[in-house]
Chain A
Amino acid sequence: MKELIGTTGLILNEPLLWEKGKKGRCGFSLPRRHVESFPLDNELTGEGPDFPDLSEVDVVRHYTRLSQWNFGVDTGMYPLGSCTMKYSPKTNERQAGLSGFAGAHPLLPSDLSQGTLRMMYELEQYLAEITGMDAVTLQPAAGAHGELTGMLVIHAYHKNRGAQRSKILVPDTAHGTNPATATLCNYRSIQVNSNEDGILSVESVADVMDEDTAGIMLTNPNTLGLFEENIRQIAEIVHSKGGIVYCDGANLNAVMGIVKMAKIGVDVMHLNLHKTFSTPHGGGGPGSGPVCVKKHLEPFLPVPRVVEEEGRFRLSYNYPQSIGKVQAFHGNIGVMIKAYSYIRSMGPKDLKKASQLAVLNANYIKESLKDTLHLAYDRPCMHECVFSDEKQKDDNVTTLDMAKRLMDYGFHPPTVYFPLVVHGAIMVEPTETESKEDIDKFIEAFKAIANEAKENPDLLHDAPCKSKVRRLDEVSAARKPCLTG
């Protein structure tokens, strides 16, 4: 067995912030007074918060050490299905940090904010082109937020026609945010089951679609990594009953420049700039979830909208049918700048190439591992593929065990136990930024682990053993939550 990627290193322990420091220390350069004191009434003032006092060295060491306990895309391959953990280009960070962008107040008069307004306008155009849609809002702060915005638009659309509906169709493969979002809009989720090929069939949608159903929330390609081949007919059925087709765009990385969602029946969709468009995941955000719509839904988009008049840009609130606002200001500008920079750096040819290579990488993994792991659907996949732990049942090894052991091999585990339609699901999305050598190492690692499952399963049951901590007691954490120190 060749040398594993995952070795041990010198990772230092680091206590909690309030277990360090000494009263009187400060890691901040206090500005000079320059004005006299104007004490406030005692009734209004308090003691101030009980924060530790730390020097700059304390703070820098603390967070440097903490960062070393994390695995990121910059550390190694992070094949989380449906998350598109592609490489985040560093020039994007540089652009977002430019002081003109970073220091601007959101309510500046438009004459004083032409730079960012132009960036927003052009980004909207690019996203409209990629999706084939007519209008875009950049306001939602994340994917789920974009879903909410899209559903609120659908809700407003039906209200405007004088006939609100009570249900929405949600496939069994849907991400949990889909039914949760439906509930926020007072829609009851009606589950539609995928067929034995892992996609939706026309009949199953026709069976449940009626005039009390607001529409359908699809993901295409779906969470099994399969293209919803019947989407055009499904859209027709939904439209024939006056419904709207919503598409969760989380998996757009498979089809940039290859399929335009607007052309296959989608009326409204959200995008994840932190997935498809390379902005970094930040350990769980911030993201950005723009929503793209067809013309008939445009009047309902949140305000303000970016408008262009003779080469100048401004924000307009003049949209009487708008759903209002979903965030206080205009969206996650800092994130948008990175996506904008990515699109400008890739250009049309390489965006398409990115999708093609993402799909190539996923199919390559699928073919290479299908003898080792049970493949849930033995058909060509898009940018991700789904395995299960079926083959390891006799070894008494689960998906969880294999995922934990992968860490010792120097890889972040794939998404596990989702989608729910596959028991013990292992969803692998390599993305296009992984090289063939790194993917080959990943395949080798998984094969070695499958072998260990037969010969020495305890290696898996006890995994991970090279990480900073071993398996954690999540049961006690839930029984007796300790959420503050």
Chain B
Amino acid sequence: MRYLPHTSEDIDLMLKAVGADCLDDLFSTIPNDCLSKDDLALPEALTEWELDSHMSTLSGAMAVSPDYKVFMGAGSYEHYIPASVSYLLGRSEFVTSYTPYQPEVSQGTLQAIYEYQTLAARLLGMEVATASHYDGATALAESLLMAVRITQKTRVAVSSLIHPFYRQVVRTYFEPTGYEVIELPYLKNGLTDIDGLDELNDLAAVAVQSPNFFGCIENLKEIGEKVHNKEALFITCFTEALSYGLLKNPGSQDADIVCGEGQSLGIPRSFGGPALGMLASRKKYMRSLPGRLVGQTKDLDGKRGFVLTLATREQHIRREKATSNICTNNSLCALAAAIYMASVGGTGIKKLAELNHDRAEYLKQELKKAGFRISFESPTFNEFVVEFPEGFDLVYDRLLKKKIVAGLPLSIYYPELVNHYLLCVTETMSKNDMDALVMEVKS
């Protein structure tokens, strides 16, 4: 087997050096009643070429572009990924290295992650960003726990227009803690209803997503003011990182902690994972941040270098008093995002975000012209909700056979929204694709 270099000669020499007669002898400390008697019941090994063939078959049974036109976002977005990004991510010094605990031989990863932290902080308008987390949902859960730690209060409020799966993850994380999660309802215009905050007291934090699950852009400044009046921390989250290429960033709207999903930044959708949890906060909350942080420093010769720092927050030192149990930082995904942000650049990202907005807006207008109701009047980024007529599910199924996925039906997540569909358009959906969709749904 090409991954097992030992020849039988090697094995004999090594067994001799160890004082064992055969490989089984090496397991003599394992009590007999713990040893497995049977071989593993797994399929026999495939050659590399058989594997290629098998995986090609599996991969072929997936509905992806260019064959299929999938008008879905809802936390997972299709964006063009430059060949340069994929190419650089293949460099095995990045791929096969581990956590940079020995900084002298990991400066590549460390500088790259320091750069990622900086670009992430700039994207979100915040003072400090972590080296990243598993995904947007867990980053939100960690942000809320962070707020509880900082304020020592045990109640949080979250908007019902935060991604339903994100809210579910929060509830799962909060279940053993006994902390209270209150959901804020939404208004007819597709934005969060914050009036309920007036009655709530002792809040650690209030969390709102923008653009929200319906694609609508929340009025963060107004919400932030109200939240701060309640002496709670203002947490904003997002699922479409690219939106901040165009929209006012959360930092400028007085967010205390910002969290969300960075998959749009050069990471393929991959059926939902791996993803990129982004988390940033004000500098004053730095020591309460969960997860890894890379800092700049100097070496013995005075040369600039980078190290993991503020490690005393983390599990390997603080153990049961750590800010989190997290031991990873989805490093390769953070690297992908950094390379992507570097490639798109400051000038490019604004143009790309505008294009996303405008393409989605075009589809919205065409659907309006075709007589369909746009469910919420608030401005949106690259997703919006359409109300299709009764019986549209039959049309939806017909379109699936034509290789068009006409959005995400919302009734599973919002039972009051039967026949409402969440549609997403990015720069990858052409005008022709959109015209075809409109034509199909009209008929």
Contacts and interface: CB of A to CB of B under 8 A. Distances in A.
A85 B15 CA distance: 23
Nearest to B221: A43
A36 B365 CA distance: 11
Contacts of A344: 43, 45-46, 51, 54
Nearest to A141: B134
B105 A412 contact: yes
B51 A112 contact: no
Interface in A411-470: 412-413, 418, 432-436, 462, 464, 467-470
A38 B359 CA distance: 9
B98 to A, nearest CB: 4
Contact of A364 (B14, B94, B379): B14
B7 to A, nearest CB: 8
Interface string A130-145: 1000000000011111
Nearest to B311: A478
Nearest to B18: A363
B194 interface: no
B394 interface: no
Nearest to A361: B14
B103 interface: yes
B13 to A, nearest CB: 7
Given A115-B57, A347-B44, A467-B105, A72 B93 contact: yes
B358 A36 contact: yes
Interface stretch (A73-81, A204-212, A291-299, A391-399): A73-81
Contact of A94 (B52, B131, B358): B52
Nearest to B317: A176
Contact of A324 (B136, B171, B427): B171
A100 B247 contact: no
A36 B319 CA distance: 56
A161 interface: no
A119 interface: yes
A162 interface: no
Interface residues of A, number: 201
Contacts of A59: 84, 88, 339, 342-343
A367 B19 contact: yes
B204 interface: no
Contacts of A181: 325
A374 interface: no
Interface string A227-265: 101011000000000000000000000011111100110
Given A108-B405, A350-B45, A485-B296, A258 B104 contact: no
B177 to A, nearest CB: 6
B121 to A, nearest CB: 5
A106 B35 CA distance: 40
Contact of A258 (B6, B36, B84, B329): B36
Interface in A328-366: 328-335, 337, 341, 343-354, 356-357, 359-361, 363-364
B269 interface: yes
B291 to A, nearest CB: 10
A30 B348 contact: yes
A285 B63 contact: no
A30 B39 contact: no
Interface in B83-127: 84, 86-88, 90-100, 102-109, 111-115, 117-119, 121-123, 125, 127
Contacts of A288: 274
B64 interface: yes
Contacts of B82: 27-29, 56
A67 B90 CA distance: 10
Contact of A483 (B169, B294, B350): B294
B293 A38 contact: no
A181 B321 CA distance: 10
B76 interface: yes
A115 B59 contact: yes
Of A59, A74, A83, most B-chain CB atoms within 10 Å: A59
A140 to B, nearest CB: 8
B40 A346 contact: no
Interface-centre pick from B119, B131, B408 (highest chain A CB count, 10 A):
B119
B103 to A, nearest CB: 5
5 contacts: A103-B270, A141-B275, A283-B335, A324-B172, A436-B10
Given A91-B52, A114-B61, 19 more contacts: A26-B347, A27-B348, A38-B362, A48-B353, A49-B346, A70-B94, A106-B271, A130-B42, A185-B176, A259-B30, A259-B34, A281-B99, A283-B109, A285-B330, A328-B272, A432-B4, A469-B103, A471-B299, A473-B299
When A and B form their complex, which 3 residue pairs have the shortest distance between CB atoms, in order from nearest? A329-B272, A347-B45, A106-B272
